[in-house]
Amino acid sequence: MNSAPLRTCFAAMTIAYAVGWTAAADDDEHRFLEWKAGVAKAVITPETPVWLAGYGSKRPPDGKLHELWMKALALEDSRGQRAVLITSDFQGVPKSMSDRVFSQLKAKHHLDRAQVMFTFSHNHCGPRLGDDLVDYYPVEAEQVVLVNEYTDRMVDKTVALVGEALAALSPAQLQTGTGICTFAVNRRNNREADVPALLAAGTPLVGPVDHSVPVLSVTRPDGTLAAILFGYACHPTTLSFFTWCGDYPGFAQLELERNHPGATAMFVNTCGGDQNPLPRRTVELCQKYGHMLAAAVEEALQQPLPPVSSGLQTAFQYVELPYLKVVTRDELTALTKDANAIRARWADRLLKKLDAGEQFEAAYPYPIHAWRLGREMLVIGMGAETVVDYALRFKHEFGPGTWVCGYADDMISYIPSRRVWQEGGYEGGSNLYEYGRPAFRWDGSIEDRIAATVHKLAKQVRE
C-beta of 373 vs 420, nearer to Zn ion: 420
Could you tell me the maximum CA-CA distance found in the chain, to the nearest angstrom?
70
Q: Which has the closest alpha carbon to 297: 87, 10, 7?
A: 10
**What is the spatial distance between Cα 121 and Cα 233, in angstroms, rounded to a whole number?**
10
**How far apart are CB 230 and Zn ion at their closest, in Å?**
20
218, β-bridge pairs: 174, 227
**What is the spatial distance between Cα 49 and Cα 6, in angstroms, rounded to a whole number?**
41
Query: How far is the CA of 210 from the CAs of 1, 129, 202, 291, in angstroms?
Result: 7, 29, 20, 18
**How far apart are CB 384 and Zn ion at their closest, in Å?**
9
**How far apart are CB 179 and Zn ion at their closest, in Å?**
24
Q: In the complex, which residues of this chain contact Zn ion (CB under 5 A)? A: 385
CB 117 within 8 A of CB 71: no
C-beta of 210 vs 385, nearer to Zn ion: 385
**How far apart are CB 133 and Zn ion at their closest, in Å?**
10
Q: Please give the angle made by the CA atoms of 157, 161 and 167, to the nearest 5 degrees.
A: 145
C-beta of 34 vs 89, nearer to Zn ion: 89
**How far apart are CB 76 and Zn ion at their closest, in Å?**
34
Q: Which has the closest alpha carbon to 35: 265, 311, 301?
A: 311
Supply the angle between the helices 141-167 and 95-109 in degrees, to the nearest 10: 30
C-beta of 385 vs 389, nearer to Zn ion: 385
C-beta of 374 vs 428, nearer to Zn ion: 428
C-beta of 136 vs 403, nearer to Zn ion: 136
Residue of this chain nearest to Zn ion (CB atom)? 385
**How far apart are CB 92 and Zn ion at their closest, in Å?**
8
**How far apart are CB 1 and Zn ion at their closest, in Å?**
21
**What is the spatial distance between Cα 148 and Cα 96, in angstroms, rounded to a whole number?**
11
HSE-CB for 379 with a 13 A CA cutoff: 31
C-beta of 151 vs 275, nearer to Zn ion: 275
